[in-house]
Structure 1
Amino acid sequence: MTYRTFLTALALAGLVAHPSLAGATADAGSSATANSGVSSVQWKSCPVYSDEVIRSLRVREEQIPAFRTLMKRLECGTVSVPLNYQDPSGRKIDIAVTRLAAADEAHRLGATAILPGGPGNSGYLDPILRVVLRNEEMAKLNERYDIIGFDPRGVGYSTKVDCPISPLGPQEPGALTEEAARKIYDAQLAANQKCGSSDPAFLGQLTTDNVAKDLDSVRTALGERTLNLLGFSWGTYLGMVYRSLFPEHTERAFLDSVAPPWTRIDEHAKDSAEAAERNFGRMAAWLARRDQTYGLGATARQVREEVSKLVRAYDKSPKAYTDLQRPIDGSAVADLARRNSTEWARAGKAMAELRKATGSTAPPTVKELLGAPMMGTPVPGAPETLNRTMNLAVACNEDSSRAGFDTAWRAYRKLVKRHPATGRSWGLPVMCPGWPLPVQQATLKRGSGSLVLAGHLYEFMSVYDWTLQTRRAIGGTVYTVADDVHVSTTRVPECAADVVRYFETGRIGRGCEGSAIPS
């Protein structure tokens, strides 16, 4: 899962002149005193990437020349900040920051910071990847705004640590038994204890609150009086926290696929699982209207029963294909059933193939969707796109549930029973047992500044009801996206035009259609 996974140097050496830096001084009297001991930006040369690395960043072949041109415009540097803001004169760490200056400097409106997902995702190249190269509509944001990217502490080119532990071993295929679940739980507990004890002074400072303070330190170092915020997934929670800590430094904020205003992992899993099963109802109806193509049933109910039956059948008799690394069991079928609408056609075809599969090699669509490992081998020289240590530390530092085994096992059994088509895709809902560091939770505050909360009606990674909960907690205007695709708003040109218009004028409509359902 993108923002709670159960789940990237840096302009010429020396200070590069920029209009926003002229006469810049640190703002005094910050509500959270985050700027104590903040340095100016230490500008450096930006990284040089090979074509292979650029492709690994999901840049299309025809976009590579444009990417290279934008890299020549990009300014890269670091800002030194306190590891612990309660001890501003103590240990310092570096935050890697990038800036893509407004193309129309004469009509510049300010700076917009891109807040990445995760926690643990890199935002270093987001000015290029999430804005200018996304589509023509989104690129217009860079006409009158500087676009600011950064790697949060613990990620990418910023100061980080990695836990000296190996990933947890693979699960046995087939239905999850209590004995196997206990082994998973015990292994997670031991790994968490080892990780959390490896560098508690650093890991204990990996919190959303501190990342927000780092961002305000970046704002000061750049000489900006205020920042506009464009947040995605976990970045929406970061935006909420930043806005709560620094309302006087926050201009317009657009948050896409809104996180809940709380940080309990058990509740997160419960709500997401319910939303995934609901959305499968939409998928089932779509497949039923195309029964001649997929053969999974002529009504949504028949499709649901057929897929649930397929989950049970593959849990009872998992299938190992010679050309797949993972065996196909009920969890793999359930994974297909919870795909969003952009993948309904391929997922439906894969499930149809699994109903009749007999050979030793995987059917073509099954191999296409389930054949690649979750984490491929990094391309040499590629920037880090996700730091799993930071993901774990932030999640567990802020998770007050930290369920014991008996509670987690009961929750899992209930989840699978209630959600027969998609429930098996989730696994045991535990992430933080044994995490040795204390719970630290941010305090959200209602603000009067401009805030747009973009909620997607049918998605499960950021449940739509969380958008409504967040509005009740901190205010804002709800912008409804009528799709099930996580953080799709800026990818769809019609929606992206609304986003850019909002930052330029402060006005926003009620929503957009989002990603189209396949015909």
Structure 2
Amino acid sequence: MTTSRTRATAVAGLTATALAASVPAVASAAPGVSTEGGLGRYYSQHLTWKTCTLGPDDEVGRGLDEAGARCADVTVPLDYARPGGRTIKIAISRLAASDRAHRIGTMVLNGGGPGPAIDMPPYMRDLMGAAGPRYDLIGMDPRSLGRSATIDCGWPSATWIRSAGETRRSFQRSVRFARDLAARCARTNGAELPYISTRNIARDMDVVRGALGERKVSYNGGSYGTYLGAVYATMFPGRLDRTVLDSSVDPRSWGPSLLAGTEDANDHALADWAAWAAKRDAEYGLGGTRAEVLAEVRAIVDASARRPLKVGRHRVDDSLVPVVLFDYLGDDEDAARAVLAEAVRVFGEAAAERPAQPGKDLDEELAFLTDGDESLYGSGQSAIICGDAAARRDPESYWRDIQRHRAASPVFAPLTRGVNPCAFWPGGPREPLTEVGGRLPALMVAATGDTRTIYASSRALHGLLPGSRMITLEGANVHAPYQRGYKNDCVTGQVNAYLLTGRLPARDLTCAPQG
């Protein structure tokens, strides 16, 4: 689960001429696709591949084109119960295998969020080592996100995640914020909302598989992408080949309260970061001990509750400071920790009522949290989560939950257990959650200090998928270590060996931290 729009990826610099010739203009239908239910025409559709750039400011499309990828739109029904009714377009990209003589197959990618994934193929090819050139890599924007039937509710923020803050007044402010976000979506996209769900995204994914002419596809999913992959495997058994699930969601706890229970992991990660920052007190001035750094964080949160901090062009109150901390605790490598230390240093200046100018990273983060320029990100993300599972409707139940956990986790409990737009979402889910299960010989990756999908979540999914194997990365506070490109040769080597050979480890494995 991510709150920030910034993926830990970068478009690889492959040339367009190297791969363009290997992408055919059309793809044939998958052999043996059933026409039952009126869906045959979707599975048998021909795809027209084209350049990915949509305009002069389209950096994602330009990066895909430069890497040699091509893009296509796949037609799917808005409502799978009425395949003859309204249709929508699902946007995909394909980076064709450059080693055609040893091509393994097609792999669908999802990087979590829920968020767009069309940009992923060039970056993932680079991560996959020798296996990368042997796959056709498919990035698919899930319905409601990116280029796929986008939902944009006109939000004043790009995300629905806010802390309930320090006081009853700030909690009431968070309730009004969540209610307003839901109302905006009901007004602007009410007709589409009932059909946005992970189950329908899984159905879209199977249509993509058929339209690509594949009996099976491989799959590489991180965070929310593990839930999508598990739902797809359950709904369409036998259609996944080599499967990687990186930092897994427990499907039994998926829904509007998905962050509840992550407090301990975030508190531990914050304490580990504080110890790191204390060793660099000369650089950041946050304190010479872990306790002093944590006290500085606490003082900043308190100050932001009294009055919003003036941070350059932004005003940052106690609903936002914890979100910034939460966002920056997804990676414990030095570069990521330095970004958090600089952010806290700037917040400290603002709390002391001194001039505080954010650097590039913090300025972009605060703009994402407070500007409406990218409201479509949070709009689509919330549409999926709220469309999957119902939320508690009584705001007071959230207040009571926060109060029960505030003493144990004063910074994060008001964030992870706060109210969100799903509490006010129009209507309810059209289908129950998928009961994930069944044999799936997947390779799973999990870090013991994951702050988003905590280690217990990965273990839970592992138990639901007989035949899976899990690689545990010990002692790392990192989310989605494989897809993030986290520096650990053990994890990367094991995953890439599996993708290359198709052979799972004989047993679960443990990887030690890498200095």
TM range (shorter): 0.7 to 0.9
CA distance in 2, matches of 1:377, 1:75: 34
Would the alpha carbon gap of residues 4 and 434 (structure 1) be closer, same or farther in structure 2, given more than 3 Å must change? farther
- The answer as to 2:458 corresponding to 1:467 is yes
Q: Does residue 230 of structure 1 match 2:220?
A: yes
What whole-Å deviation, never above 9, does each CA across 1:53-78 have from its counterpart, x for those lacking one?
A: 43x79x9xxxx7xx6542xx323212
Spell out, residue by residue over 1:390-415, the C-alpha distance to the aligned partner (whole angstroms, 9 max, x if none). 21211111233334110112223344
One-letter amino acid matched to 1:489? Y
1:432 is matched with 422
TM-aligned CA distance change 1:240 to 1:50, over 3 Å? same
* 1:447-481 alpha-carbon deviations (Å, 9 max, x no partner): 22321221122121221111011112233222223
Q: CA deviation at 1:186?
A: 3.5
Which residue identity does 1:327 align to in structure 2?
V
Counterpart in 2 of 1:2?
A: 2
- Match of 1:140, SS state, is helix
2:478 to 482, 485, 503: 485
Letter in 2 for 1:254: V
Aligned to 1:124: 118
Could you tell me how far apart the structure 2 residues matched to 1:354 and 1:166 are?
22
| Deviation at residue 150 of structure 1 after TM alignment | 1.6
Alpha-carbon contact 1:118-1:391 (below 8 Å) kept: yes
Could you say what the CA RMSD is over the residues aligned between the two structures, in angstroms?
Answer: 4.0
TM-aligned CA deviation for residue 498 of structure 1? 2.9
Q: CA deviation at 1:191?
A: 3.8
Deviation of the 1:222 alpha carbon? 0.8
Q: Deviations over 1:278-323 (max 9, x none)?
A: 22222233344555655655554454345334433443455425x2
Cα distance in 1 for residues equivalent to 2:420 and 2:164? 19
Tell me the equivalent position of 1:207: 197
> Which shifted more, 447-456 or 236-245?
447-456
CA distance in 1 between counterparts of 2:164 and 2:419 reads 17
Q: What is the aligned counterpart of 2:274 among 272, 284, 287?
A: 284
For structure 2, the residue ranges without an aligned partner over 5 or more in a row are 6-10
2:432 corresponds to which residue?
441
Aligned residue in 1 for 2:48: 43
Contact 1:112 1:148 in 2 (8 A): yes
SS in 2 for 1:248: coil
Q: CA offset at residue 426 of structure 1?
A: 5.5
Describe the shift of the 1:328–1:354 C-alpha distance in structure 2 as closer, same or farther (beyond 3 A). Answer: same
1:221 aligned partner: 211
Q: Separation in 1 of the partners of 2:325 and 2:408?
A: 18
Picking from 489, 492, 499, the partner of 2:495 is 499
- On the 8 A contact 1:37/1:89 being kept in 2, the answer is no
Return the offset for 1:388.
Answer: 2.9
| 2:109 pairs with 1:114 | yes
Q: Distance in 2 between matches of 1:166 and 1:351?
A: 24
Match of 1:87 among 82, 86, 111: 82
Q: 1:345 to 1:74 in 2, by over 3 A?
A: closer
Q: Name the structure 2 match of 1:239.
A: 229
Instruction: Please name the residue that 2:363 is paired with.
Output: 371
C-alpha change, 1:418 and 1:108, in structure 2 (3 Å) is same
The change in CA–CA distance for 1:329 and 1:155 in structure 2 (over 3 A counts) is: closer
Specify the alignment match of 1:325 in structure 2: 314
Q: Distance in 2 between matches of 1:243 and 1:32?
A: 20
Conserved 8 A contact 1:173-1:318: no
Task: For 2:387, give the aligned amino acid.
Answer: N
TM-score, structure 1 as length reference? 0.80
Matching residue's letter, 2:472: T
Distance in 2, matches of 1:354 and 1:388, equals 25
Give me the whole-angstrom Cα distance separating, in 2, the residues matched to 1:169 and 1:118: 11
Secondary structure (helix, strand or coil) at the match of 1:228 reads strand
Distance 2:55 2:511 in 1: 37
Deviation at 1:511, TM superposition (A): 4.7
Distance 1:261 1:168 in 2: 25
> Which 10-residue stretch deviates more, 487-496 or 224-233?
487-496
Aligned-partner SS, 2:234? helix
Is residue 192 of structure 2 the alignment partner of residue 188 of structure 1? no
Structure 2 CA distance for aligned equivalents of residues 221 and 180 of structure 1 = 50
Q: Unaligned 5+ residue runs, structure 1? A: none
Measure the CA separation in 2 of the matches of 1:172 and 1:77: 36
What code does the residue aligned with 1:481 have? Answer: L
Distance 2:52 2:142 in 1: 18
Distance 1:68 1:336, change over 3 A: same
- What letter is aligned with 1:38? Y
Q: Is the 8 A contact 2:3 2:159 kept in 1?
A: no
Deviation of 1:206 after TM superposition, in Å, equals: 0.6
| Counterpart-to-counterpart distance in 2, 1:505 and 1:385 | 42
Distance of aligned partners of 1:377 and 1:461 in 2 relative to their CA distance in 1, 3 Å threshold: closer
Q: How many angstroms apart in 2 are the aligned matches of 1:172 and 1:153?
A: 24
Residues 74 and 208, structure 2, Cα contact 8 Å, conserved in 1: yes
| Correspondence list, 1:390-401, <5 A | 390-401=380-391
Q: Where do 1:348-359 residues align within 5 Å?
A: 348=341, 350-351=343-344
